[in-house]
Amino acid sequence: MSPAATDFDIPFLRSRRTNKWHKFPDDVLPAWVADMDFGVAPPIAEALARLARNQEYGYAAREGALAAAFARRMQHRFGWTAEPADAHPIGDLVQASFSSVMAFSEPGDAVLLQLPSYPPFMAAINDTGRRLIANHMRDSGTRWVLDLDAYEAAPDPRARVLIFCHPQNPTGRVFTRGELEQVAEFAIRHDLIVVSDEIHADIVYPGNTHIPLASLSPDIAARTITITSATKSFNIPSLRCAVMYFGARALKERFFARIPARLLGSPGVTGVDATIAAWDEGQPWLDDILACLKSNRDWLAQTIGSEMPGVTMRLPEATYLAWLDCSALALPTPAGQFFLERARVGLNFGETFGAPYANFARLNFATPAPVLREIIGRMAEAVRGFSAA
Ligand SMILES: Cc1ncc(COP(=O)(O)O)c(C=O)c1O
């Protein structure tokens, strides 16, 4: 990999017209939205250059190409056999989660979601007039765990859908086969359709294995819509290209009986070609990126442990996101606001992942090591200043 792909400096990162680097004033270092301060895999760069060279922007002839690449990738990476005919190309995962909620429930129905949660999932429930049933995860002392029993105490007769995020954002959990079996049994017993967001499945650290939920059994597959894309792991979120995979033909038919395919639109040719290049040829690049992310993760965990008393971070098993518990600091403001004001670091505010999480913040560590050191240096100084006062 060209060293430039992970060695960008702050002036260059700021010169890129990304939301990450332009949401906050220039004296703030951003560590929020989930994209990486790196480049892209050479096969992606070449796919995009080829389109530009050929000025190839007419209506595309790519029938079935993305679905076939998805099936190859699932087989090769996770040993999961997916049927290309049951995959549907779509612009993005948020759109896939909104449309799935709308297809498989009615206004007033309940949708379950583990909290803390990636904020748009809550929007997919609230903005469509469904009721959010918050199923809070628990910090076991070493990692975040599911607590499905909490729901059993008061099941909702109008629960129709479970939005499941695996690997989980923001806790970084990779659920084990045992945990996934519990989820599958739970969904079947409560007759829930599962929207399984597996967008982070490629960014998994050694010692953990991603298992697609729908790969567990035909019974859970028949009620699971797996939604994924190459956009997180291959750093191309603005190319808007994703896949919805229906674990049974009947599920796909039910979906399209409610949601006209033409309402959803379809991904553009840049997204499709880049995704195919990523999935088919991008793995050597991703392996290098994973090594870099692991080194950032390990340094971060160690430095937070030693330099930021009062801040707790469970080691993420996947994702380049760290979920920081700042409760022990007893801050006067939400943690995100504290670090923005006192450290000039732009994190995701914990309360956007669920109302009880104002003492938390999410930090994106997919950035060159010198930038990460500067971010953490500023944060540690703010914590020291506050604790000394
Ligand atoms: C769990 C999860 N799902 C979906 C997305 C966004 O996907 P998209 O840009 O395709 O809507 C993100 C982005 O951070 C995410 O973390």
Residue 386 CA, ligand 1 centroid: distance in Å: 34
Nearest atom (ligand 1) to Cα of 319: 16
Pocket flag, ligand 1, residue 199 (CB < 6 Å): yes
Residue 212 CA, ligand 1 centroid: distance in Å: 17
Give me the residues paired with residue 194 across strands. 162, 224
Which tokens go with 29? 């270092």
**Is the pLDDT reported for residue 151 higher than 80?**
yes
To test the pocket of ligand 1, the residue of 97, 213, 232, 244 to mutate (highest count of ligand atoms within 8 Å of its CB) is 232
Pocket flag, ligand 1, residue 112 (CB < 6 Å): no
The pLDDT tens digits for 168-223 are: 999 999 999 999 999 999 999 999 999 999 999 999 999 999 999 999 999 999 99
Residue 352 CA, ligand 1 centroid: distance in Å: 15
Question: Which part of the chain has CATH 3.90.1150.10?
Answer: 3-42+283-388
* Structure confidence at residue 6 (pLDDT): 85
User: What would you report as the CA-atom Rg of the chain, rounded to the nearest whole angstrom?
Assistant: 21
Residue 4's pLDDT band (cuts 50, 70, 90): low
Alpha carbon of 5 to those of 11, 16, 33: distances in Å? 15, 14, 19
Decide: 82 and 71 in contact? Cβ < 8 Å: yes
Decide: 137 and 116 in contact? Cβ < 8 Å: yes
Q: What is the mean pLDDT of residues 383-387?
A: 94
Pocket flag, ligand 1, residue 237 (CB < 6 Å): yes
The pLDDT tens digits for 76-117 are: 999 999 999 999 999 999 999 999 999 999 999 999 999 999
Residue 376: name the closest of 307, 295, 327, 326 by CA. 307
* Structure confidence at residue 207 (pLDDT): 98
Nearest residue (CA) to ligand 1, atom 7: 93
Please tell me the CATH code under which domain 57-281 is placed.
3.40.640.10
Q: Output phi, psi for 147, to 5 deg.
A: -135, 70
Domain 3-42+283-388: give its CATH architecture: Alpha-Beta Complex (3.90)
The pLDDT tens digits for 273-289 are: 999 999 999 999 999 99
Who's near 217: CB < 8 A, 6+ residues apart?
184
Residue 1's pLDDT band (cuts 50, 70, 90): very low
Helix (H) or strand (E) run with residue 29 in it: strand 29-30
* Structure confidence at residue 389 (pLDDT): 83
Pocket flag, ligand 1, residue 243 (CB < 6 Å): no
Residue 169 CA, ligand 1 centroid: distance in Å: 9
The pLDDT tens digits for 223-260 are: 999 999 999 999 999 999 999 999 999 999 999 999 99
Residue 3's pLDDT band (cuts 50, 70, 90): very low
Q: What is the mean pLDDT of residues 130-155?
A: 96
Alpha carbon of 311 to those of 323, 327, 332: distances in Å? 10, 7, 15
Decide: 196 and 227 in contact? Cβ < 8 Å: yes
Question: Which part of the chain has CATH 3.40.640.10?
Answer: 57-281
Residue 19 CA, ligand 1 centroid: distance in Å: 15
Residue 320 CA, ligand 1 centroid: distance in Å: 13
Nearest atom (ligand 1) to Cα of 169: 1
Number of helical (H) and strand (E) elements in the chain, helices listed first: 15, 15
**Is the pLDDT reported for residue 329 higher than 70?**
yes
Dihedral in degrees, nearest 10, Cα atoms 227, 42, 271, 36: 60
Pocket flag, ligand 1, residue 118 (CB < 6 Å): yes
| Average predicted confidence (pLDDT) for the chain | 97
Residue 264 CA, ligand 1 centroid: distance in Å: 17
**Is the pLDDT reported for residue 2 higher than 60?**
no
Residue 55's pLDDT band (cuts 50, 70, 90): very high
* Structure confidence at residue 254 (pLDDT): 98
Decide: 322 and 350 in contact? Cβ < 8 Å: no
**pTM to 2 decimals?**
0.97
